[in-house]
Structure formats: C-alpha cells, structure tokens
Amino acid sequence: MTTPEILATQVDLFGLMTVLGEHLYSTPFVALRELVQNAHDSCVRRRLEDPAAFAPEIRVVCDPAAGTLAVSDAGAGLTRDEIVRYLATIGAGYTRKLREQHGSDDLIGLFGLGFLSAFVIATRVAVTTTSYQSPDTTLLYQSRSGERFSIEPAASRPVGTTVTLHLKDNFRELSDESALRARLLHYCALLPLPVFVGDDDVAVNAQPAPWRVPDAHPARARTLRLDFARRLERRFEPLCTIDVGPREGTDVRGLLWIHDAATYGTSDNRNLHVYVRGMLLDDDARELLPPWAGFVSGAIESAKLTPTASREDLQRDPAYRAVAAAIAEALVDGMKQIAEREPEAWRRVLLRHNEALLGAALCDDRLFELLADELTVPTSEGDLPIAVVQRRGQGKLYASLSPRGGFEEVLFRALRVPVVVGTRYGALPFVRRHADRRGGAVIELGTAAGNKRVFPPADLPADQQAFLSNMLTRPGQRLIAARFAPAELPLVLVPDREAELKRRVESDEAAGRIASGALGLMRMFTAKIDASVDADLYVNLDNPAIVRLLEQRASIDAGHPGVKLLRALVAFVAGASEAAANEAEGLHTALAEYGRAVCELLDTPRPAR
C-alpha cells in the first residue's frame, strides 16, 4: 500500500490581495471607515495595556494638493514585530487576540482584513508608528500593493500611529475636507472616541446619541432626538421619534423616526443605520424593520450583532432576529405613545401614511385596535372613515372588486351610498377585519354572493322572463329578474369579472405582457371558467317602467320607443367595465338609439285633452 503524498496548499498572494482588496467591499470608501475603526481599537488597546494616562483621539487630515489622506491616533502604536505579525499578515489582526485576553466589548475589529481596503484607494500606503512599549523608536512601514513592504526608522513622533494614503486619481474625493467631514459624521456618529477633521477643535461626533443623554428635560429630549434624526436622514424630514431600548435577549438601543412625507401603500422607504460598538456597519439594514413600516427610518446600536467579513452586512443569527423583534415591539409601543401624548404629530402621521397604515393594521392586532377608528378607506366618494361608510350603508359595507367604475358607480350613486374601492392597497382586507372585529356585513360587489345581496332574485313567469330577455338583452347577456333599490332604476348591467379575466388571460396580448410560466398557471385556472355569459342584466320588477312594459307586452315589440330607451339605458348604467365597452359596440351606438327613440316619441301625436 502506497503512502499518500502530502503537499502544502499554495497561495497566489497577488490574486488573493486583488480579490480581498477589490471585491470584499461594496464601495472603496469603506476604507476610510476601516482605518478609523483600526485607530479606535488602537486607542482601546492602549487603555487596556498601558497604565499611563493619555488623551485618546483620532484625527483625519487631507491634502488636496498632494492627494493624500492621513488617519492619526494616540493609540498603542506598533513594534517592528507587530508590524510583521499583524499589520502585514492577512487575517491576523491583533484585536482578536486582545478581545480573547480582556473580553472587552469596546473593540470593533474581528477579522484582520480592514487594512487591505487601503490598497483599493491608494497607490502607496505609509504607516508611521511609535509603540507605547518602545516610545523612543518610531518606524515607517511602506507598501504599494500590500504584497511587499519595507520597514525603516523614521523621525520621532509621540506614541500612536498615522496611516497616510496617497490616493488614486479616481478617489481624490476623499481629499476634500467637506466631503470627508460628511462621511465621517455618517460613519462615526456613535463612536465614543472623538474624531476630528483637519484642524477642527470640535469633533464630528461631538453630539452624543440622544439615548446616551441622561435625564434630559422632555422638551430638550425631543429636540435632541429630532436633531439626531435630521443628521442621519438623507431623504425625508423626521416628523416624530420613537425610542428603542433593550428588551429580553437584546442590548439594542436607538431611535426610530416617522417620515413627514406622504407614502402610498406599496411605498418602501424603510431605512435603518446599524452601529456595532459605535461604528457604522450597515446604512441600509431595512430588513430589521417590519415589512409594513415603509414610512420609518432609524439608527440603532448593539454589541450582540455579528458582522460579515466585509463589515457591511449582518449575520442572520438568533441575535439578529431578537433585535428585529425588539424593534418591531418598540415601533408598535411608540406609535401608541405618540397617539396618546403627541396628538398633533399623530394627526400628521395619519394624514401622511393612511394607506400604508391600512396594511400595518392587518399585520399586528395591537395596531389594528389603535388604528381601526382613525383611518379612512378609499371609496367612490373619496376617503371616508369606516364608521361613515357603514352608517350610510345602513350597517353594511359595500366593496367593489373592479379597478374601474362599473355598475357599482351608477347604482350606489343613485342610492347615495359610498362604495369601498376594494382594489386599492389594504382597503378590502381592512374592511373585512373591521367588520369581523367591530361588527357589520361586507358585501363584495361583483361576486355571486354579493350580487344576491344587492339584487335579491324575484320570481317571474317563464313567458315574462323570455319576453324581457328578448326585448332588453344582447348576445352574451343573461337576464335576471330582481327587486332592488332604488325603485327608480329599471335595470343594471353587472359584468362577470371571472369571464373578463379569462378573456384577458387568454388573449394574444397577454403573452407579450406576462411571463410564460405565470401565464401558464393563470390559464390553467381560467380554463375552468365558464365565459359564455359576459354580464348579468338585473331587471328591477319594482320599477314603474318595467311594470308597464310587462303589462303591455302583448302589444309591444323591439321597435317600440320605450324598449329602445331601456336598451340604450343598459349601456348608460354599465359603467366603465369591459362588458360596457362591448355593449352595442360602445356608448355611441347606445346614444344614437336613445336619440332615435326620443325623436319617435316626439313625432307621435299626443291625444287631445
């Protein structure tokens, strides 16, 4: 039996540096964040290892003329051995070792990869460092690609480190002080150590997070929260804020804010800044917010969240799920508090986000109880509270399933009853939930059950049924005798919504608009639909004109002016449905028939009185 040959794995250092340096991060500007983070951890290290007092700070200086960016700290510095073992060795960061020794939650770094990002934006990287362990020795590390480097003595400097990047031409934006200040404010907003830009005397992160300010007066606390939200919010003016505090299983703290800008139900403007140990890790962690909260942004911090290797995303672990649950609870509780304590802000929330809140109320029973009597629903007469819709419908809630005005528009306008537009976001499910919880009946117009409630069937002898059908219907229409209000309305044409769907799905145009897989599934469903009837024509037996028509049926034919007027009326009351579009080739034909019938009536001599 032969002994297997054991070989060492080879590493293409150039290829590895390219992959890690150029593809590990989504944006090269993350290099700035990584260098500030390293500077922070160096200061924490010095505090943990060096008993001598020192003033920790980080200063970022740029030189537009030279195209350089320098990050300096008053931290622990590096010895020659540490430069070789940690700075110049991929994945061997000293921070991991330090965390294992001291168990400090103040340290940010994890993987020992952040320094690589410097080579993405720089043609040359220089590190000048003096270790607290040998304060009389200053060293200079230099490298152009990270593959090879040099170390040599340098002019004396205080304990600490300065990393100088000679920027590539396409990253010279980082040598602009105002742009630099804006980015650092974004990255370092919660960092506990002061971060200065250029010769500034005030740190970019001098304003503390509002949840770190103890016992502020309520008015001042509100101002601090709104100011903080404005510093981080890029798109919307904050309307009001909600605190996020630790809950069982989490250490999360932070602030949420509701946008002072109108949203639609499907709008998703969620945004969440996530800080881990004070440094921005993800500025679009929207998935931590509930899906229904499309009108909410925020910023949170947690030491329990675990970053990925690029430190631009979070691992979806139990800690992540616990934080998401805590945020959802804080948001629900916070909205209840706003409703109770800030009535003016609450009115604006309802005004700005009514449609989105319809969906939110369906996702959480507590929100439904909070919002059920506050929100409006879209109706044929504009947005109205459900209580008004229900009162005017005499205890019933009528809902249309048509995206266009159909028979519902004609019938219920005559009845002066608003109809809920069931095709709008969240409207129909919200109405159903409201009726289920608060009482009431939902009548869905256009369905078989709904039509029976609106047009109660009436018995009619077969010969009279046949007569009315011959006089009033057209091909594809089915006549149904009924009794309904208002009695002044003689008939209503109700399209078959399923038949309309079948025709649309099976049309040639559908193949060009719908993906073949989805279209195949839809056609499997519509194949079972009987589309032989386009629409039902409900004839009102309580209407005087219909009563008179039946009484005189022996002497009336399809050419009678009264019959022509009724036939024309079918198109008028059909509304904007597909059936209406097909009715007598459209409204023009109906209008022409109506005009001719009127002329005949005018030409008929009236008997002398």
Measure the CA–CA gap between 412 and 433, rounded to whole angstroms: 23
Give Cβ neighbours of residue 413 (< 8 Å, ≥ 6 apart): 380
Query: Is 311 assigned a ligand-binding role in the annotation?
Result: yes
Name the one residue in this structure whose structure tokens are 């949420």.
256
Measure the CA–CA gap between 108 and 110, rounded to whole angstroms: 7
Residue type, position 254, single letter: G
Measure the CA–CA gap between 528 and 45, rounded to whole angstroms: 72
Paired strand residues for 384: 377
Reported in sequence order, the residue ranges of 236-278 that DSSP labels E, i.e. its strands, are 238-244, 253-259, 271-276
Query: Is 161 assigned a ligand-binding role in the annotation?
Result: yes
Residue 398 CB coordination number (10 Å):
28
Q: How far apart are the first and last CA of the chain?
A: 128
Helices (H) and strands (E) in the chain, counts: 22, 20
Query: Is 582 assigned a ligand-binding role in the annotation?
Result: no
Name the one residue in this structure whose structure tokens are 């944006």.
27
Q: Is 483 left (phi over 0), alpha (psi -120 to 50) or beta?
A: beta
Measure the CA–CA gap between 579 and 158, rounded to whole angstroms: 85
Residue type, position 582, single letter: N
Query: Is 312 assigned a ligand-binding role in the annotation?
Result: no
Measure the CA–CA gap between 170 and 141, rounded to whole angstroms: 24
Task: Report residue 77 as tokens.
Answer: 């510095």
Q: Nearest 5°: phi and psi at 109?
A: -65, 155
Measure the CA–CA gap between 204 and 502, rounded to whole angstroms: 62
Residue 219 CB coordination number (10 Å):
8
Asked if residues 346 and 375 have their Cβ atoms less than 8 Å apart, the reply is: no
Task: Return the closest-CA partner of residue 283 out of 193, 181, 187.
Answer: 187
Measure the CA–CA gap between 380 and 388, rounded to whole angstroms: 13
Query: Is 38 assigned a ligand-binding role in the annotation?
Result: yes
Instruction: Provide the CB-side half-sphere exposure for 56 (13 A, CA).
Output: 20
Task: Return the closest-CA partner of residue 232 out of 253, 265, 203, 255.
Answer: 255
Asked if residues 396 and 390 have their Cβ atoms less than 8 Å apart, the reply is: yes
Give Cβ neighbours of residue 580 (< 8 Å, ≥ 6 apart): 406, 493, 495, 571, 574, 587
Residue 15 CB coordination number (10 Å):
9
Fill in the DSSP letter of residue 106: S
Q: Is 112 left (phi over 0), alpha (psi -120 to 50) or beta?
A: left
Task: Return the closest-CA partner of residue 495 out of 580, 421, 400, 397.
Answer: 580
What is the DSSP annotation of 2-22? PPPPP-PPP--HHHHHHHHHH
Dihedral sign (CA 251, 253, 258, 259): negative
Measure the CA–CA gap between 577 and 464, rounded to whole angstroms: 28
Asked if residues 575 and 581 have their Cβ atoms less than 8 Å apart, the reply is: no
Annotated binding site for ATP: 34, 38, 73, 161, 311
Annotated binding site: 34, 38, 73, 161, 311
